[in-house]
Structure 1
């Protein structure tokens, strides 16, 4: 398992004298890649880039061990070594001022496309494993948009960006796929809208992309996310019968006019507002940790973003934190069209009620459940109050109760109880009521693994999607685990229409 804490310290040690955008991650990758398999090495690179991105954007990262701290306190990112606390943001500003480069930089234009939208699209590349550069090597792709000979190298051995990028992406292949989004020379997470959209259109260009399945996948990810900020990509031409796409700015609402012989009617359609709360509980303080909920929650967060959801995620919440984030999510749901709650971790039923077990619960007796846990109905009440058209609750929380032995309970009360789904809701359980689910032997729990495989299926109605999940889980578990749904949906719903 990657030690993110130590990894962050090593990155900050390099950043103390070098701009974050210039940090050479090759030595760190080499250090941490020992004995890692290929997939684990990929995960390492993704983690490194995520840390760099968080530091660059002053996101909150909390660690403290007596002589080292990083926190977003008072809007700045701080860290300390040897007991001395300093602002990395101020420090980086000083470093970058001293490293002003005479070579031309990419100029940012106006920005309407939100950072969250850009991140969702980045996550789409990572989840689908479709490369942004398609059939071309990365320098060849970028040379179609930028003059790489006039951009600086961040590797002191070379003079130009072209040489630098060729070395690290073609010859060594030691940069992660998503480096282009955070590299200061291109800075796609913060570049002007035109630059960002031109980049996306180039990823679809016939010279770059000849695989129709990849083309369809990327186009869906782009349009699902861009429409929230008033943009789409339309076909504007062809080369040898293959489409060329260009960006189109939409109005806030798109009028649709229908005409009859006697009247003209105008209606408006706005993008569907989708919001999700994703919870993963792995590191239980008074029970053995679960291996997969962290990966399950991260996987769900990433794929839901590609499907147009605004996602709030919390890992390893205490009871107090879980209650607060559920209540906050309930307030944010108001005015939305679709609400989704996902929980991976331990859950238990007591007297016919289902409870989600937070990481600080110490359930020495069954009576403590209502005091140390959070009733699942709490989120359903918020969803009902928000009056969203579609509400989805997904509970991968039917694993064995780690406190059961001390309660002296019978096997008949294992797993979760059936809940009545309020109007417009669907509740999905990882296994049938009264049974327990497998935490899985891979990177994800058995149920969530199947969910991730099918949730973005094109044109798959929600009932059909969960049916596919059920069949996969039954097959892999030899029918020992049978996922279950309870529903009162009043409208059709597609994750990916």
Structure 2
């Protein structure tokens, strides 16, 4: 706090020009000090906001189906995504070619790892389908055991967890034919306990494509179309996830070997999330 300079008798009288200069210097120092404190407080708040959330991720790929089309890029997708997320300071749990029981086991292991204030990323790559307002991931033993519901996964992961943000990247084809008669309709449109964003490989009801080996590899690509775009743009410094999703959509539209438009659904996420913030700038 800046105090007035007083004489021993408490008066406000200064001795000539020197007193005036001294007053101006004191006021100037006070102004500069207050501005510096405001800037430092702002930088402290910005830094603490960026570093508050711990980052964890669950990555699952299925490509070695015995009764569905083989997906040659998917194993590359999950391994490259794992490497990228580790660089971006995520703790990663990943699995390849799993049946339904293994899916639930990995989910339970991952659920136990989630703590308050975490930023949680879930990535699925493989075959899937869309049915009655829900998307499903197809395990290797789907004919015997059934499929894995995305909406039910969201509900389970939200149970008893506080102040979490969830990011789902679903690199599956939602147009696979499936019998929906025995699958209940999902009608819940309200905000869930924790906000989340979902990035789908394509618009619901449309088809997503794996790379075409000859054409895709000629130009040096080894990943599927959505994952190629995500890997390219998630490393861009200080890009919010919503902007990243738009850039991925434009990337796929421009470079895809077949028409495919990724889709993003934002459920009540009211804060920014940046994959490669300043303190992670290493690309």
Q: Same fold (TM over 0.5)?
A: yes
> Is residue 2:228 matched to residue 1:453?
no
Alignment partner for residue 156 of structure 2, among 382, 391, 399?
A: 382
Cα distance, 1:384 vs structure 2? 2.3
Counterpart in 2 of 1:316?
A: 97
Counterpart in 1 of 2:256?
A: 477
Counterpart in 2 of 1:306?
A: 87
SS at match of 1:362: helix
Cα distance, 1:333 vs structure 2? 1.1
Counterpart in 2 of 1:430?
A: 201
Counterpart in 1 of 2:270?
A: 490
Alignment partner for residue 166 of structure 2, among 391, 413, 423?
A: 391
SS at match of 2:203: coil
Q: Deviations 1:444-489 (Å, cap 9, x if unpaired)?
A: 1111111111111001111111111000101123782111011021
- Residue 272 of structure 1 contacts residue 337 of structure 1 at CA under 8 Å; is this kept in 2? yes
Counterpart in 1 of 2:16?
A: none
Cα 1:408/1:324, change in 2 over 3 Å: closer
Between structure 1 and structure 2, the one with the greater Rg is: 2
Cα distance, 1:271 vs structure 2? 5.2
TM-score, normalised relative to structure 2: 0.69
- Residue 174 of structure 2 contacts residue 204 of structure 2 at CA under 8 Å; is this kept in 1? no
Counterpart in 1 of 2:146?
A: 372
Q: Distance in 2 between matches of 1:339 and 1:408?
A: 32
SS at match of 1:277: strand
Q: Identify unmatched segments of 5+ residues in structure 2.
A: 1-35, 39-43, 181-185, 217-221, 278-283
Show the 5 A alignment for 1:151-230: none
- Residue 307 of structure 1 contacts residue 495 of structure 1 at CA under 8 Å; is this kept in 2? yes
Q: Distance in 1 between matches of 2:243 and 2:132?
A: 32
- Residue 327 of structure 1 contacts residue 382 of structure 1 at CA under 8 Å; is this kept in 2? no
Cα distance, 1:440 vs structure 2? 1.4
Show the 5 A alignment for 1:80-479: 269=48, 272-362=53-143, 371-385=145-159, 386-398=161-173, 401=176, 404=177, 422=192, 423-441=194-212, 442=216, 443-477=222-256
Q: Distance in 2 between matches of 1:453 and 1:310?
A: 20
Q: Identify unmatched segments of 5+ residues in structure 1.
A: 1-257, 261-265, 364-370, 410-416
Q: Distance in 2 between matches of 1:400 and 1:447?
A: 16
Number of residue pairs aligned between Structure 1 and Structure 2:
217
- Residue 130 of structure 2 contacts residue 204 of structure 2 at CA under 8 Å; is this kept in 1? no
Q: Distance in 2 between matches of 1:419 and 1:444?
A: 34
Deviates more, 1:337-346 or 1:285-294: 285-294
SS at match of 1:345: strand
Counterpart in 1 of 2:13?
A: none
Of the two structures, which has the highest relative contact order with CA contacts closer than 8 Å and spacing of 6 or more?
Answer: 2
- Residue 173 of structure 2 contacts residue 201 of structure 2 at CA under 8 Å; is this kept in 1? yes
Q: Distance in 2 between matches of 1:466 and 1:427?
A: 10
Cα 1:388/1:324, change in 2 over 3 Å: farther
SS at match of 1:428: strand
Q: Distance in 1 between matches of 2:157 and 2:179?
A: 35
Q: Distance in 2 between matches of 1:484 and 1:305?
A: 25
Q: Distance in 2 between matches of 1:358 and 1:478?
A: 26
Q: Deviations 1:163-191 (Å, cap 9, x if unpaired)?
A: xxxxxxxxxxxxxxxxxxxxxxxxxxxxx
Cα 1:408/1:394, change in 2 over 3 Å: closer
Cα distance, 1:378 vs structure 2? 3.0
- Residue 319 of structure 1 contacts residue 374 of structure 1 at CA under 8 Å; is this kept in 2? yes
SS at match of 1:355: strand
Cα distance, 1:419 vs structure 2? 8.9
Structural RMSD (CA): 2.8
- Residue 356 of structure 1 contacts residue 397 of structure 1 at CA under 8 Å; is this kept in 2? yes
Q: Distance in 1 between matches of 2:209 and 2:187?
A: 19
